[in-house]
Structure 1
Amino acid sequence: MTPPAAQRPEALDPADYESAKRMVQSQDPAIRRKVAEHPKTRPELLYFLAADAAAEVRRAIATNAGTPRQADLLLAKDREVMVRQAVAQKIARLLPELSADQAIQIERLTVECLETLARDQATEVRGILAEALKDLPNAPHGVINRLARDVELSVCGPVLQHSPILTEEDLTDIIMKGPVRGAMTAIASRQNVTASVADAIARSDDEAAVTALLGNPSAQIREETLDRILDQAPQHEPWHSPLVRRPRLPARAVARLASFVADNLLKVLQDRDDLDPAAARNLVEAVRQRVGQAGAGAAPGLPLGPVDFGEEAVGGAAAGPEKPVERPSDKAARLNKEGKLTEKLIEGSMVEGDRAFVMAALAELSQIELAVVDRIVATHAPRAVTALVWRAGLTMRFARQVQLRLAQIPPKTALNARDGTHYPMTDEEMRWQLEFFGVEAKA
């Protein structure tokens, strides 16, 4: 016997519990979907429908804000990508709207769900989650950390660039482990990149990331980090433009830039009105040297007369041709040949902040390639740095200063001299430390 029209499943109201129970038993997925998407459907019915045979019904359950978290977890593992996408979108959409108490509850009930979605095999599912969570201050750290280390840039990029959840330690670890191509550029583009993170980026071989770092006005770049970048800058033309526009350029950096950037960028330096008097004088001298080298046929765009930098600028014509700016490695080699590359001289340069020359001096005296010296110092490892200074034939007292000033090793962890003057390791131990970096024993 056919039931009255009012009692047929398609005519029932899903808001009524008894009616909804009948509707979920219907053979028609369209009727079951009505229950799945209704905002007043009871949680137990939603959980029951989370295992429905029809993907369209499960997707409706995934989008329903009233679905219990246990059902969301089932749907986060669903075989259909569209269902998992719907769960990711819903969970991420709910997070910013939660009160403090609700946030605790969501943390307890949905972290497993979010972690499941963060491991999803479908890039688009992980991408949806990353885009939704990228700037939320209450997103779970574990989930954000996993997304930040994803193998797809579309997933890790938004989180690396924007997430406030990632710590300085997270970012440095990701950089050191070699992230996917483009990820380091995302990190370099973050607001307020810390000095330690900037230093890690500068030590990489990622030209695009360093370019982004230099172009980021909120990035904190220490002077020694800038020196390291300037050591390599002549071979990296994309760095030149952001370098000359970098705010608060130190005087020494201005002089070094003026020695190799193109004429149009030299003009940008000259037009800056924020250079301190020392930087202005350095720039004037660098311009004169370039003009002197060019001779009568000076390069276009370079002024032959004094450059107006205010009262502190140096005016008048140059007394005569001056020598070109000497590279730190050439200076170290020359001084060593002349017998003048002494510990006192190197220490004075370190106190003045001339990191590039100190590194070149250590490389010259130790007969270790500059790139290897840089890697040793970059480890911030007291034993390795101490072994480097020992190899250079310098004192343990100086090794202590190199640990503190050059390698930025905290005083509590830096090695102290044995009996006040002696190295605390045996020669064999120090040779062993250097072998890690491919340094062979001296003949």
Structure 2
Amino acid sequence: MLKRLLNRSRALDRAKSETERYEISRELLEGADPKTRADMARREDVRPEVLYYLAGDDEAVVRLEIAGNAKTPAQANLLLASDRDDEVRCQLALKIGRLLPTLDCETQVVVRERTIEVLDILANDQLPKVRAILAEELKTCVAAPKSVILKLAQDIEAIVAAPILEYSPLLSDQDLLEIIAAGVAEGAMPAIARRRDLPAEVSDAVVASLEIPAIAALLANPSTQIREETLDMILDHAEDLECLHEPVVMRADLSVRAIKRIAGFVAASLVDILVSNNELPDDVEQDLKEAVRKRIAEAEAAPNDDDPGEVEAQRLSSLGKLDEEAITFALDANHAEFVIHGLALRSDIAPGTVRRIFAARNAKAITALAWKSNLSMRCALKMQNFARVPPKERVNARNGVHFALKPEDMEWQLSFFVG
């Protein structure tokens, strides 16, 4: 059947007008079964009129082959960009992203213009998977339209925005600053922090966001520039955030002042790495080691008397009365130790970790802690107030009562402090 169609399609070469060629194409394919049409759609030696006709086929399997065919005419790609089948649009996004860099701006002006139209449509597709495929293909492309790159970089889904934010050479430092100021997709800020040769101005903006995963990624990026005052801001929070200890120790551009400060709170094993990674004067090295020994000795000698707040939390827990009312009362009364140990008992998270979550003043992590403790969003708001989270950074309730974050997002937030 396919061979007969190919032989008969030679009549297309003798047709004198596009209309005549299209009509011949339609007549050739009307009686063919779906498999034959799909086989025809896959071929690259078929006339453009045939491929265009097949782009409107009723069978998704046929349109899927057309979407992946590099020889499909630009007008047919434009038709497929709004296809009702998700997989067809995904396949088209994959092809178009790879096709764009091969188009000659001078000799293929019309084709490029149509292709850019397709990109615009796909960049606005309702399905995140389509946009994510497009972003992955365009992340290093210098031929992509800047408007499309900016659109993808500002996408509300991290799987779309992150590849562009991390790799696109078309994003200027000013673009990045404006994107951060406008708000980055949740989970996408670390992508900016991982960019090569990130300037100090952008590093400042990343740190100002107070997103712990992004700050950790920034510290782990050897090519980023971090000002001394910005590093000081990081160190203000790093003592209570163990996930930042190793990244900050591994920085290669630390001043002696910063090294001394870091050595004051990281584990002894990390101090050894800190010393070995930096060429320090002998007296400074000895001072650091002595400070660590003193810190360990003080910790071992510290009294282990139970705080009254801890005792009361344990008592109520044993009676089954460590409920939301008890936690709320302690929050309102600013009974810190009761709050810390009460939440630790309800969430099964160590008291030290609960303390670090509050110290970080991370609204999302605090909200996640409330959820893990089986408390209400109303209590989560009180916990944010207890931690003195700035009002503009607080996570508010959805519809007045529900948690605004998804369970998997809250588990993800806690993962930076637990385990």
Match of 1:70 among 69, 75, 78: 75
Distance (whole Å) between structure 1 residues aligned to residue 152 and residue 170 of structure 2: 12
Are residue 180 (structure 1) and residue 182 (structure 2) matched? Answer: no
- Offset at residue 10 of structure 1 (A): 6.5
2:262 corresponds in structure 1 to: 257
2:310 corresponds in structure 1 to: none
User: 1:105 and 1:191, CA in 2 relative to 1: closer, same or farther beyond 3 A?
Assistant: farther
Task: List per-residue Cα deviations over 1:159-208 (Å, max 9, x = no partner).
Answer: 22222222212222222233223201121112222211111111122111
TM-score, normalising length: structure 2: 0.62
Are residue 271 (structure 1) and residue 276 (structure 2) matched? Answer: yes
Q: What amino acid is aligned across from residue 239 of structure 2 in structure 1?
A: P
1:440 corresponds in structure 2 to: none
Are residue 127 (structure 1) and residue 159 (structure 2) matched? Answer: no
2:86 corresponds in structure 1 to: 81
Mapping of residues 278-427 of structure 1, within 5 Å: 281-291=283-293
Q: For the Cα contact (< 8 Å) 2:2–2:39, is it kept in 1? A: no
Match of 1:157 among 142, 152, 162: 162
Q: What amino acid is aligned across from residue 16 of structure 1 in structure 2?
A: R
Match of 2:6 among 10, 13, 21: 13
User: 1:104 and 1:213, CA in 2 relative to 1: closer, same or farther beyond 3 A?
Assistant: farther
Gaps of 5+ in 1: 1-7, 300-369, 376-443
User: 1:186 and 1:296, CA in 2 relative to 1: closer, same or farther beyond 3 A?
Assistant: closer
Percent identity of equivalent pairs: 42
Largest Rg, 1 or 2: 1
Task: List per-residue Cα deviations over 1:282-328 (Å, max 9, x = no partner).
Answer: 454344445456669999xxxxxxxxxxxxxxxxxxxxxxxxxxxxx
Are residue 116 (structure 1) and residue 121 (structure 2) matched? Answer: yes
- Offset at residue 212 of structure 1 (A): 0.9
Distance (whole Å) between structure 2 residues aligned to residue 11 and residue 122 of structure 1: 39
Distance (whole Å) between structure 2 residues aligned to residue 103 and residue 133 of structure 1: 19
2:207 corresponds in structure 1 to: 202
1:413 corresponds in structure 2 to: none
Q: For the Cα contact (< 8 Å) 1:20–1:35, is it kept in 2? A: no
Distance (whole Å) between structure 2 residues aligned to residue 127 and residue 284 of structure 1: 52
1:231 corresponds in structure 2 to: 236
1:384 corresponds in structure 2 to: none
User: 1:180 and 1:74, CA in 2 relative to 1: closer, same or farther beyond 3 A?
Assistant: same
TM-score, normalising length: structure 1: 0.59
- Offset at residue 102 of structure 1 (A): 5.6
2:196 corresponds in structure 1 to: 191
- Offset at residue 253 of structure 1 (A): 0.6
1:96 corresponds in structure 2 to: 101
Task: List per-residue Cα deviations over 1:89-137 (Å, max 9, x = no partner).
Answer: 2111212334453675554221110111111112221122122112222
Q: What amino acid is aligned across from residue 73 of structure 2 in structure 1?
A: P
Q: For the Cα contact (< 8 Å) 2:94–2:133, is it kept in 1? A: yes
User: 1:24 and 1:165, CA in 2 relative to 1: closer, same or farther beyond 3 A?
Assistant: same
- Offset at residue 86 of structure 1 (A): 2.0
Distance (whole Å) between structure 2 residues aligned to residue 43 and residue 144 of structure 1: 30
2:45 corresponds in structure 1 to: 40
Q: What amino acid is aligned across from residue 45 of structure 1 in structure 2?
A: V
Gaps of 5+ in 2: 13-23, 302-387, 394-419
Distance (whole Å) between structure 1 residues aligned to residue 61 and residue 48 of structure 2: 18
Match of 2:35 among 25, 30, 37: 30
Q: For the Cα contact (< 8 Å) 2:100–2:112, is it kept in 1? A: no
User: 1:196 and 1:31, CA in 2 relative to 1: closer, same or farther beyond 3 A?
Assistant: same
Distance (whole Å) between structure 2 residues aligned to residue 103 and residue 244 of structure 1: 53
Task: List per-residue Cα deviations over 1:332-384 (Å, max 9, x = no partner).
Answer: xxxxxxxxxxxxxxxxxxxxxxxxxxxxxxxxxxxxxx998xx9xxxxxxxxx
- Offset at residue 257 of structure 1 (A): 1.0
The structure in which a higher percent of residues are helix is: 2
1:220 corresponds in structure 2 to: 225
- Offset at residue 263 of structure 1 (A): 1.4
**93-102 or 204-213: bigger deviation:** 93-102
Are residue 143 (structure 1) and residue 137 (structure 2) matched? Answer: no
- Offset at residue 21 of structure 1 (A): 5.3
Distance (whole Å) between structure 2 residues aligned to residue 124 and residue 78 of structure 1: 14
User: 1:105 and 1:190, CA in 2 relative to 1: closer, same or farther beyond 3 A?
Assistant: farther
- Offset at residue 50 of structure 1 (A): 2.1
Q: For the Cα contact (< 8 Å) 2:252–2:277, is it kept in 1? A: no
User: 1:85 and 1:298, CA in 2 relative to 1: closer, same or farther beyond 3 A?
Assistant: closer
Q: CA RMSD in A?
A: 3.0
User: 1:297 and 1:39, CA in 2 relative to 1: closer, same or farther beyond 3 A?
Assistant: closer
- Offset at residue 221 of structure 1 (A): 1.1
